[in-house]
Structures are given as C-alpha cells and as structure tokens.
Structure 1
Amino acid sequence: MTPGLPPAMDRPHFIGIGGAGMSGIAKILTQRGAEVAGSDSRESVTAEALRALGATVHIGHAAEHLAADASCVVVSSAIREDNPELAAARERGIEIVHRSDALAALMNGLRPIAVAGTHGKTTTTSMLAVSLSSLGLDPSYAIGGDLDVPGSNALHGTGEIFVAEADESDRSFHKYAPEVAIVLNVELDHHANYASMDEIYDSFETFAGKIVPGGTLVISADQSGAVELTSRLRDLSSLKVVTYGESESADVRIHKITPRGLTSEVTVVLGGKFLTFTVSVPGSHYAHNAVAALAAGVALGIPAHNLASALGKYTGVKRRLQLKGESAGVQVIDSYAHHPTEMTADLEAMRSAAGDSRLLVVFQPHLYSRTQELGTEMGQALTLADASAVLDIYPAREDPIPGVTSTLIIDAARAAGADVTPVADKESVPDVVAGMARPGDLVLTMGAGDVTDLGPKILARLSH
C-alpha cells in the first residue's frame, strides 16, 4: 500500500525539523517522495539522517531558509510566534500546518494504532513497530524516540498499519482517528497546558471519542487514572473497550512477571489460555507496555501467539534504560524519565537489576513548570538511589520561573533521607561520578534533556 502525499505537503518546510516528532513526519514525507526542507537550531545525527534521505536541512532559523516555492510550513507547539521563518511564512501567505495535522494526514487510508498515556508511549509504540515489522506486516510508524532496531523514529512502510505515538501534552492527539487506541495511564502533567485532572480526563475522553466506529480502546485495568477514564467512557456504544493488567477483572490479565536480570518473562491469560513471552528490558512497567501492545495487535486481528513471539524481538528504544557501555567495571545506563512516576518505575527496575550493587543517578530536571509542580515528588523518587547528582533545570521551550530551581528537588530528596550532590556545571559530572563510582556500580543518567550526552563522557572518564 503506497498512500500518496497529503494535499499541500509536496514541498513542506519544517521549523525545528530535528525534533523527535517533527523529524519522523519529515522522514515519512521524504520516503513518500516529497521535497522536504527545514531548519533546526543545531547540527545533530537526526539532521544528517534527514539529509541522507534527500531533505534540505538548514542550521539556525532565518527567513531566507524558507524556499519561495514551499507548499506549507510545518510547526510544533514549541515554535514561538516570533520565529523568523514562521513570520516569513505568514507574510507570504504560506499555509501553516501543525505537526499533529501533518501526522493525521499521513495516516489517512491506513489502519492507525495511536498510543497515548502520560508515560510509556514511546516504548509501547516501539514494541508494536518492531513486532509488526518482524511479522512481515511492514507497518508505517512515527515514534518519539529512536529504536535500537531498525534505528529510526519513523518509517514509511508498504503495509496497511500505521503505528503512531499520540501526544497529549498540547491536545494534539485529538486530531487522530485511530482504529485502535491505547491509553497506558492518565496522570497530571504538562502543567502549562492543563490546570487540573478534570482537564486531563476531558482531553483523554475527547481522544477516545475520536476512535472510529467499531474500533477498540485498549486501556490499563490497574492504573487509577485509566480506571477512572474507563468509567467515564462506558456510554460510548460504538467503542469496544479491552482492559489489560494484573487486575482479576482485566480482559488480558497479567498472570506473572518474572524478572531475569535486564529482561523479564511475562505470562498473560488471554481468551482463557496462558501465553508466555520475553520482554528484553527490565521492570514491570515495561512488561505492562508489552501486554498493551499485545492487546492492540490482537484487536487488529493478529494472532496472539505470533505477536507474543514477535514482542520478544524488541530490544529497546534509545534513552529507555539503554545501556551506553561499561568501563572500569561500572555500567552506564540512560533513562528518559522526567516525571516522578517514570523516575520511580525506572529506579525500581534498576534497583532490582542492580542486586547487591550500588545505583548512582545523574538527574537533570526537565522544565521549570514541571519542577515547580512536582519537584518534591522528584526528590522523593531519588531516595531509591544510593547516591545522586542533581543538575540545573533543562528549560527546553520554557522561560525561567522566579524561585524555581533544582534546589526544590535537592531539599526534598535530602528531607527524605537521600544522598544528593548539587552539580551546577554539567561538564564536571564525569569527574563527580568518577569520584563516587566503584566497580560493580550502575550509573543511571536520567532526564529528558541533554543529560543523555553525559553517558559517553562518564565512560571515557572512568577508563582513565
């Protein structure tokens, strides 16, 4: 199946083309034959990958980067109104397309699976992409992170299935009309856009209402927010709801999760039969993600035993408990966790994997607004580590908030009994870790910002 290009998307210009969501759409459009161009603030592996596909990528933002014949300009919610390329597009009357609208257009004519939830979207989307690919179904996919295999965040496949990560942060997931939707969990996050849990529930309810008539919602039977959302959706008669989890009432019930070092063995009860498969990343939350992926594939008509076997071929996604290497007997692992629930889940998984070894954490808070609202909980999560180094806040798209610094997290962690060291200079982290670590330790770099760049530097420093 080879869908054509959406209207006005034959010569798109992407502002912030190197971003996880934007680059995926740009890749798929390039693979479908569009003349893709765009700009980003800095050079990156992603920019080089796009150029290798034939896209034009400028570094820096300037009005002259916008080609005269651009058919549209694609933006995300992170692009500010004063961006010179956006201003030039408005001045010339070029159509402005939000990233979510572009992704929705790419899914037209296919069988979309949209993966939503406050945590776990990237992992679950990746599990589906890898397992469906290994079954020869050649899906298209757009993911908010790079797979270990096949090494990309997006692909235009020849099959009829399109797997997409559905982002709730700016309500953009309301644009999609999936045949199957997954909701992994529902929690309060993205405080710049949501003021309360009621607003979050309303947003997820709108998302569920976009599922095509006769479609399926796969949703957790264990997580309290998901259970509450399910109770609000029961009146949608055109929707089939399939629950999964450890609850006795779950339609796809998790019978047992057996940790095996950096992997897990998962046994589920589906249709009255037991089914066992391996998940190649540690932690019960990743096992739950795999079961959600299994349930979604079954909802599309794929045999459960085939999917279970295929899920065992998933080897991970970059930044989701990704082993970066080992040096001087110390393993360095990278985690994207930046919300307290994610931090706790990954720290518990690594605590279990570490056994009698020590777990050291390098944590970089992400966003001032998130730190303001959840700094105390972040600090409490760090009590699961033997020792932590806490960096300054990574601002991403936000301006500073007076009085909001990493000190909020550090004070909360120390009050809870954690051993925490503030590190204002990110470049000094390798030396700090080298002074803390000893053979057998696990070092976890954690956060959604550029803390991921420290892993190789820590390994290099440990080798001296």
Structure 2
Amino acid sequence: MNLNNIHSIYFIGIGGIGMSALARYFKANKKQVAGYDKTPTDITSDLTDLGIQIHFEDAVELIEPSFLNPNTTLVVYTPAIPKNHSELQYFINNGFNVLKRSQILGLITENTFCLAVAGTHGKTTTTSILGHLMKECNVPLTAFLGGISENYNSNLILNGTEVSVVEADEFDRSFLTLSPNMACITSMDADHLDIYGNADALKESFVAFSKRVKKDGKLFVKNGLPIKGITYGIEDDSDYTIQNIKIENGTYVFDVKTPKAVLENLKFNLPGRHNLSNALIALAMSVEYGCPHQQLAKALASYKGVKRRFTYQIKTENLVYIDDYAHHPEEINAVHQAVREMYPNKRVLAIFQPHLFSRTRDFIDEFAKSLSQFDDILLLDIYPARELPIEGVTSTWLLDKIENKNKQLVSKAELISKIQESHAQVILTIGAGDIGEEVKQIKKELSIAS
C-alpha cells in the first residue's frame, strides 16, 4: 500500500497511547484524521485540540461522510477493540483497507532507517531516551513513543523522516511486522501468556524478531539473554557496560565503556538500575548510529523521563509521591529497588491496581512477593482492560498471598482517606489501568495536607 495515495485515516481506539502517536503523525503530515474511542481522556482532549474529530459511541452514523470512501480512507484499529465492534465490522464488510497499528508502523518505517526497541520491560523509557538523544544530535527522525515524553509533552518526536525510532511490541506478535536496521532486546520475562500460552512461545517470538533485523543491521541484547548480539550491561563484561556508578544529589554519575572508548562522567537523572540499563542501550544504539559523544553526554543529562514512569508528583523533604506504570512483578521489583536506593530510611506505601485477570492469575505468587517488599500496601480491584472476569481471580486472592500485615483492599472512593491515614513518607501509585486517572486528585489532597 502506498500511504501517499491515502487522504483520510480513521482510528478505532484513537485514545490508545500507540494509536494516538500515529494520529499525531498523520495529522502533522496533512492527512485528514478522525476516530472513535470508548472514553474521553487527556490524550483524546489533546488530539481534539489538534483539530482531530473524535466520538465516544460505537455508531457508524457518527463518522464524517468524507471518511466513508474505501478508495481514499485507511482504517487503523488496535487489537484491544472487540471483533464485534460495529464500526470495525462496517469497514471490514465494505471493502476498506483495515490494518492493525503494528502494520501501519511497518509501512511507515519500511522506507526509513529504523531503530526498534523490543523487550517485555523498558521499551517506552528506552525508546524515549533514544529518540531524545538522536534528536539532540540533529538526526532527521520521527520517534513513536508508548508514553508521553516529559521533554516534549508528546508521544511523538518529529525532527524529519529519514530515520524512525519505534517500540517493537511483543503483544499479539506485533513486532514481527517490522524490519529494523538496528534493534535491541531489553528483557524476555514471561508476559502476555493469554496470547502466547507459555514462556517458551514468547521466547520463540523474540528469536523470530531478532531475525527480522536486516542482514547488514545490528542487534543489541541485554547480557544474559539467550540471543546473540552486541551485549550491554551494568558493571559486567558486556560490549557496552556502565562502570564507576555514583549518586550525587539524586543523579547517577558514571562511565560507559564502549568497544572503542570510555565515556566519562555521564549524568542521568532517572532513579533505578533498570533506568540506568535503559539509558545504556539507548546510548549504545546512538553511538553505533554515529552520534557524537559530546552531544550524547549533554543530551543524556537533559533527559526528563516519561509520564507515569517513576514520575515525581510531590518531592519535598517530608513527603514524596511517585506514580509509575509498573504492571508486572519484575517492574514492581525495579520500582522498589529505585525507591529503596533513593530513600533508604523512609516508610513506603504502595498503592497497586492489578492489570488484567489473566496476568494476575499467571503471576499471582510473583505479584505477592514483589508487593510484600513495601512497608504498607493498599490494593485496588483488578482492572479488566480487554478481558472478562476469570472465576476465583480477584484482588482478595492476591491480598491473602501478600506476606505483610500492613495491607488492605480498598475502593477508589476510599483511597484518599486511606492514604491520609498512612504514616508513610514515600507514597507510590502503581499500575497500568485507570489508576493514572486518580493521580491528579491524590496529588491535590496530599499537597493540601502537607
């Protein structure tokens, strides 16, 4: 398909983080853009401000007539949309080109020099660091991010069209639509077992992705993963490795040994060893692309992060409130490590909303173990997203397995009062569901109280 011949793009699920980045991209490229989503959010509001028409009812009659020509309109949908969605069915049954988000990314990037970031954790942060580093080095790129960059207040970085930086998403095997010139794999922990069935099938898909890298391309892998490539790691014998780590005023200061040189006294402001690892692979890919070391060092120090990735909402001497997207046990462990490293002597309250019934079931013991590390735990009901309930899989089941007496199951209505009852000096909201919608109010109430 030649995207140049397409005049209108209609998105089903336009408010999704990956979908909205594509909507911004096509709008910036002078296409007509409109879409449907289930509920209004800050993202849909931002898209509306750009002049994109969005409605929130699944009804074909609400679609602008100019989008109902199969010869000039491309339809993009997210796998989270149910197959019986009436708008989706209308487009399928009336001869429109209907493609998944991942297929569109494949089309956009196939004529660019593509850098792809894969892994069960760290994709969004790594992609946003990589996009920021390369933009600051004046690379003519478009970066599609799975989160809102604090540096650009957007999930799209536009600085040209010769190079593309993308997240290579393993969900639904989406990353197999890409053919990158450079790629990295940050992690291969079991996840999305509702799609894959078992961990071996997930690993096989990462092997298949590694073979999608072009023959003259480069693949980077975190040291220890069972796939061959240029290795990276922290304080080990990798091709790219971080050495001499210090923390100065909440900032990491460190050296990076590359195959050809040592970059000294680099600075990075995000806490947590997992974020150091993300910074390292973004730096390694930028170095291999050819970005100047001095500019990279400056760009790394100016990186601010991604919203809902260890995002400070309140940071005072007496109270710290951090919001994070973590929704897998390993991600919760990473948040815990970062908090304990930065605030070793403070009491920590974790408020967690499990995401998906299947993920909660598949990792129930691991979730219990990771949450038990915090001093106090408030647990919300499971956020279903695309799923129907599974019998016996509840937050009560998870709560019973947490080995910590300071734990409670709470509703959203009582959340703020329960937080205010806590004596914790560090408060965390964690999860990938709609817990993010509660952050503004929690911040407001905590700010008043303090």
TM range (shorter): over 0.9
Using the TM superposition, give the Cα deviation of residue 285 of structure 1 relative to its aligned residue in structure 2, in angstroms: 0.7
1:115 alignment counterpart: 117
Give the whole-Å Cα distance in 1 for the aligned partners of 2:7 and 2:367: 44
2:83 alignment counterpart: 81
Choose which of 39, 44, 66 in structure 2 pairs with 1:42. Answer: 39
Indicate the larger mover: 332-341 or 7-16: 7-16
2:431 alignment counterpart: 447
Choose which of 175, 178, 198 in structure 2 pairs with 1:176. Answer: 178
1:312 alignment counterpart: 301
1:229 alignment counterpart: 227
2:128–2:306 Cα contact (<8 Å) kept: yes
2:246–2:252 Cα contact (<8 Å) kept: yes
1:458 alignment counterpart: 442
1:90 alignment counterpart: 92
Seen in structure 2, the aligned counterparts of structure 1 residues 262 and 409 have a Cα distance that, compared at 3 Å, is farther
Using the TM superposition, give the Cα deviation of residue 257 of structure 1 relative to its aligned residue in structure 2, in angstroms: 2.7
Give the whole-Å Cα distance in 2 for the aligned partners of 1:326 and 1:123: 21
Identity among equivalent positions (%) equals 34
Give the whole-Å Cα distance in 1 for the aligned partners of 2:157 and 2:136: 14
For 1:421, the aligned partner's letter is: Q
Query: Any unmatched runs of 5+ in structure 1?
Result: 231-240
Using the TM superposition, give the Cα deviation of residue 412 of structure 1 relative to its aligned residue in structure 2, in angstroms: 1.8
Alignment of 1:66-215 (within 5 A): 66=63, 67-69=67-69, 71-215=73-217
Using the TM superposition, give the Cα deviation of residue 272 of structure 1 relative to its aligned residue in structure 2, in angstroms: 5.1
Give the secondary structure class of the aligned counterpart of 1:193.
Answer: helix
Alignment of 1:417-428 (within 5 A): 417=404, 419-423=406-410, 425-428=411-414
1:317-372 deviations in whole A, cap 9, x for unaligned? 00000011258942211010010000001111012212222111110000000000
1:237 alignment counterpart: none
Alignment of 1:354-433 (within 5 A): 354-414=343-403, 417=404, 419-423=406-410, 425-433=411-419
2:231 alignment counterpart: 243
Give the secondary structure class of the aligned counterpart of 1:140.
Answer: strand
Using the TM superposition, give the Cα deviation of residue 65 of structure 1 relative to its aligned residue in structure 2, in angstroms: 3.1
For 2:338, the aligned partner's letter is: A
Give the secondary structure class of the aligned counterpart of 1:23.
Answer: helix
For 2:123, the aligned partner's letter is: K
Give the secondary structure class of the aligned counterpart of 2:193.
Answer: coil
Give the secondary structure class of the aligned counterpart of 1:125.
Answer: helix
For 1:419, the aligned partner's letter is: N
Give the whole-Å Cα distance in 2 for the aligned partners of 1:337 and 1:307: 28
Indicate the larger mover: 402-411 or 363-372: 402-411
Give the secondary structure class of the aligned counterpart of 2:183.
Answer: strand
1:20–1:153 Cα contact (<8 Å) kept: yes
For 2:419, the aligned partner's letter is: V
Give the secondary structure class of the aligned counterpart of 1:254.
Answer: strand
2:75–2:96 Cα contact (<8 Å) kept: yes
1:27 alignment counterpart: 24
2:184–2:219 Cα contact (<8 Å) kept: yes
1:327–1:459 Cα contact (<8 Å) kept: no
Give the whole-Å Cα distance in 2 for the aligned partners of 1:20 and 1:429: 26
For 2:256, the aligned partner's letter is: V
1:201–1:229 Cα contact (<8 Å) kept: no
Seen in structure 2, the aligned counterparts of structure 1 residues 156 and 61 have a Cα distance that, compared at 3 Å, is farther
Using the TM superposition, give the Cα deviation of residue 210 of structure 1 relative to its aligned residue in structure 2, in angstroms: 0.9
Give the whole-Å Cα distance in 1 for the aligned partners of 2:249 and 2:80: 39
1:50-85 deviations in whole A, cap 9, x for unaligned? 223232211222122333226121111111111110
Using the TM superposition, give the Cα deviation of residue 138 of structure 1 relative to its aligned residue in structure 2, in angstroms: 4.2
Indicate the larger mover: 429-438 or 338-347: 429-438
2:267 alignment counterpart: 278
1:259–1:282 Cα contact (<8 Å) kept: no
Give the whole-Å Cα distance in 2 for the aligned partners of 1:107 and 1:272: 30
For normalisation by structure 2, the TM-score amounts to 0.94
Indicate the larger mover: 164-173 or 83-92: 83-92
2:110–2:178 Cα contact (<8 Å) kept: no
1:145-168 deviations in whole A, cap 9, x for unaligned? 000011100134315221101100
Indicate the larger mover: 93-102 or 117-126: 93-102
Choose which of 308, 329, 332 in structure 2 pairs with 1:343. Answer: 332
1:234 alignment counterpart: none
Give the whole-Å Cα distance in 1 for the aligned partners of 2:405 and 2:6: 52
Give the whole-Å Cα distance in 2 for the aligned partners of 1:347 and 1:260: 20
For 1:395, the aligned partner's letter is: P
1:407-450 deviations in whole A, cap 9, x for unaligned? 23212213xx3521111x11211110000135xx1100000011
Give the secondary structure class of the aligned counterpart of 1:79.
Answer: coil
1:170-200 deviations in whole A, cap 9, x for unaligned? 1010000111101001111001111222211
Give the whole-Å Cα distance in 1 for the aligned partners of 2:370 and 2:433: 18
Using the TM superposition, give the Cα deviation of residue 247 of structure 1 relative to its aligned residue in structure 2, in angstroms: 6.1
For 2:422, the aligned partner's letter is: M
1:267 alignment counterpart: 255
For normalisation by structure 1, the TM-score amounts to 0.91
Using the TM superposition, give the Cα deviation of residue 404 of structure 1 relative to its aligned residue in structure 2, in angstroms: 0.2
Give the whole-Å Cα distance in 2 for the aligned partners of 1:394 and 1:327: 31
2:422 alignment counterpart: 436
